[in-house]
Chain A
Amino acid sequence: MTETLSDTRPERVPLPADSSEPFLVVENLTVQFPTYDGLVQAVSDLSYTVKLGETLGIVGESGSGKSVSSMAVLGLHDVKRSRLTGSIRVGGKEIIGASNSTMKRVRGNDVAMIFQDPLTALHPFYTVGAQIIEAYRLHNNVSKSIAKRRAVEMLERVGIPQPDRRVNEYPHQFSGGMRQRAMIAMSLVNDPKLLIADEPTTALDVTVQAQILDLIQDLQREFGSAVIMITHDLGVIAEISDEVLVMYAGRCVEKGTTKQILTWPEMPYTWGLLGSIADVASDVSKPLIPIPGTPPSLLNPPDGCPFNPRCPHTDKVEGRRCFTELPELVQFPRQTHPTRCHIKDPDLIWETEVKEEIM
């Protein structure tokens, strides 16, 4: 067996001629699911870009459209059961409406995904090795034994002890953290240019969480790939992302660098998210401040700003615009980054009213 791993990589789809375009471009993405009860507007008018080597954090509550939008990047929505409009370009290739054969090449090769719960996301009846080998051989024309060597290599790379033995074990024989490492090994086996991590640490305990985040960052530096980190945990965001996109009710409500979002948050929803974080290092007797209410129905979103039923600051906007008019994602003169909110000077409110209360 003289074949080596590096010879067997297929040629990458060349980057677009206009290489100034970021690796992933999402423009005006809308995802809707027709149901018996009506049209679920899971994602509306979402735009963002991610460059190679960068990490974008997408935060929001359950049902805010985080996962739905990233599954659209992999074309994982059943065309018969969903309606997608807008544009998603991966390395210059349009994903929406792409043929099956195009999508097969993109999935797992250009773009890979790490799912939330590694127990349910790995097939219980196949060994971890078999699942990694399957992923590798799909995009690389190599023999099983070479693919297996690659699988062992990947398991070792993600920090699984005794990889040559563990490769033959089933997911249920792995602990939660090990399973997520195996999942990451499977995602990275084809050196994807874009890695989407969909709440990769939610099912894990905190110490393992930190290890997994470190691992993702290390691997990102090593492979120079772009990463989308989907999470509801602002702690994870602070640790890992360069830019942050806050989602609410299927829309982007605030977008900026991590520093901007965490130090000068400008949207009342983001204030709410920051207020809900438990900080063990600070005064623990101070109660957490949850965001009252629940996320709105995506079947009949409220008129005006979708956050208005839960927003304590609607009185700071003249008239009843919060209840009648959907704010645009714009940056007012006194803002550092764009938000989808009618409030014109949010930094003042943050500084004088909110920060004191939640920090």
Chain B
Amino acid sequence: MLGYIIRRLVAAFLVITLTSMIVFALFFLGPTNVAELLCNEGGRCTDDRRERLETALGLNDSVVTQYGEFVKGLVVDRTVSLGAEYECSAPCLGISFRTKTEVTTELIDKYPATFSIAIGGASIYLVLGTVLGVLAARRRGSFADRALVSGSLLLSSIPYYIVALLAWLYLINQWKIFPESKYVPLTENPGKWFLALLLPWLVIGITNSTVYARFSRGTMVETLGEDYVRTAAAKGLPENKVVFKHGLRAAIVPIVTIFGLDFAVLLSGTIFTEAIFGIDGIGRWGLEAIPVDFPVISATVLVSAVLVVLANLIVDIVYSFLDPRVRLA
């Protein structure tokens, strides 16, 4: 088990390194000239000034050297020059071209908001979706089952940002069912934190639960037809125990798998939610950085890569606990 985890971690490290290289390379292949951009910021841009900026930014060095600098910054403090000099303490992900602050600091500052949104939304859709799916599977073919399946299809065929926008427009702006409150960190004021996030959670939770409801309904219908579920009934177990202890126990495995991956995607930025509900998380941060603020973009891409790779690893490990037939070696 330990050997397996170590091997997976090494592989994860390689994937993340490769991702960072690709992002770096893409940026250099892209058409934006950072020096020109920064140069224009400082008023009149002369050729001389632009060339000085290019040298200071290291744009004249080879891509390999620049990447080396970037990697070095992850372990030791370095100074970044964007015309003026900026201190960047390790782990340094660069200095934002726009705000001129350390990317790492901004990331740490903005990440809790995204994490708060993700964890609440994901909990709602996992629980709600699975419960609805199990209920539908038990009553398959009934009116309630058909209503759930077609209702969930309808809801999931509306783009997420429309649902989120409508929710904001009607529930907050027009009907004022939910308070218009600004996001504050949990540590500052838990009550306000909760109030500000309640609607975003519900919107994420309910829209995504449709997928989980249909998926868990499918795996549950399949599991309830398994021989071992019939065996459980033949032993004299009450129906609830047959459905949950024997049926759901087996059906939950594929649900956990897709949940792990979905959750990682959610953790790497809830762009629409943050933009629509005005929450300052990394989704919006990354969105606003496009197309010029390279250090911020690369940081968000790296965070996503790390989260997705880690989620995969965690799913595989959890799998071996859920299914005794899976032995990691």
Write the residues of chain A forming the contact surface with B, with a CB cutoff of 8 angstroms: 74, 76, 100, 103-109, 112-113, 115, 117, 120-126, 134-135, 138-139, 170, 172, 186
Contacts and interface: CB of A to CB of B under 8 A. Distances in A.
Nearest to B230: A76
13 contacts: A112-B235, A113-B234, A120-B226, A120-B227, A121-B228, A122-B228, A123-B246, A123-B249, A123-B250, A135-B235, A138-B237, A139-B236, A186-B235
In the A-B complex, list the 6 residue pairs whose CB atoms are closest, starting with the nearest: A107-B236, A108-B236, A108-B235, A120-B227, A123-B228, A121-B227
B109 interface: no
A121 B250 CA distance: 13
B250 A125 contact: yes
A125 B323 contact: yes
Given A112-B234, A124-B323, 18 more contacts: A76-B230, A103-B236, A104-B236, A104-B237, A106-B236, A107-B233, A107-B235, A108-B234, A108-B235, A115-B231, A115-B234, A120-B226, A121-B230, A123-B228, A125-B249, A134-B237, A170-B324, A170-B325
Interface in B313-329: 322-325
B235 A138 contact: yes
Given A170-B324, A170-B325, A172-B325, A124 B228 contact: yes
A197 to B, nearest CB: 12
Contact of B324 (A104, A122, A125): A125
B221 to A, nearest CB: 13
Contacts of A115: 227, 230-231, 234
A357 to B, nearest CB: 39
Contact of A104 (B238, B250, B323): B238
Nearest to A135: B235
A238 B121 CA distance: 63
Interface in B212-254: 226-228, 230-239, 246, 249-250
Contacts of B230: 76, 115, 121
Contacts of B231: 113, 115, 121-123
Contacts of A135: 235-236
Interface string B124-157: 0000000000000000000000000000000000
Contacts of A123: 228, 231-232, 246, 249-250
Contacts, number: 68
A150 B232 CA distance: 19
A103 B234 CA distance: 10
Nearest to A124: B325
B320 to A, nearest CB: 12
B138 to A, nearest CB: 10
Contacts of B323: 124-125
Contacts of B325: 124, 170, 172
A105 B236 CA distance: 7
Nearest to B325: A172
A170 B246 CA distance: 15
A186 B232 CA distance: 11
A123 B248 CA distance: 12
Contacts of B236: 103-109, 135, 138-139
Contact of B227 (A117, A134, A138, A186): A117
B294 to A, nearest CB: 48
Contacts of A126: 249
Contacts of B239: 100
A109 B235 CA distance: 8
A23 to B, nearest CB: 18
Contacts of A120: 226-228
A295 to B, nearest CB: 22
Contacts of B227: 115, 117, 120-121
Nearest to B142: A80
Among A120, A121, A123, find the residue whose CB has the most chain B CB atoms closer than 10 A. Answer: A123
Contacts of A105: 236
A123 B235 CA distance: 12
Nearest to A75: B233
A107 B246 contact: no
A170 B230 CA distance: 18
Contacts of B322: 125
A287 to B, nearest CB: 36
Contact of A124 (B232, B233, B235, B324): B324
Contacts of A134: 235, 237
A112 B232 CA distance: 11
A107 B234 contact: yes
Nearest to B246: A123
Contacts of B249: 123, 125-126
A210 to B, nearest CB: 24
Given A120-B227, A125-B322, A74 B234 contact: yes
B62 to A, nearest CB: 55
Contacts of A104: 236-238
A273 B231 CA distance: 30
B162 to A, nearest CB: 37
Contacts of B232: 123
A129 to B, nearest CB: 13
A126 B239 CA distance: 18
Interface in B18-51: none
Nearest to B229: A123
A167 B322 CA distance: 19
Contacts of A172: 324-325
Nearest to A189: B235
Nearest to A183: B231
Contacts of B250: 123-125
A62 B13 CA distance: 55
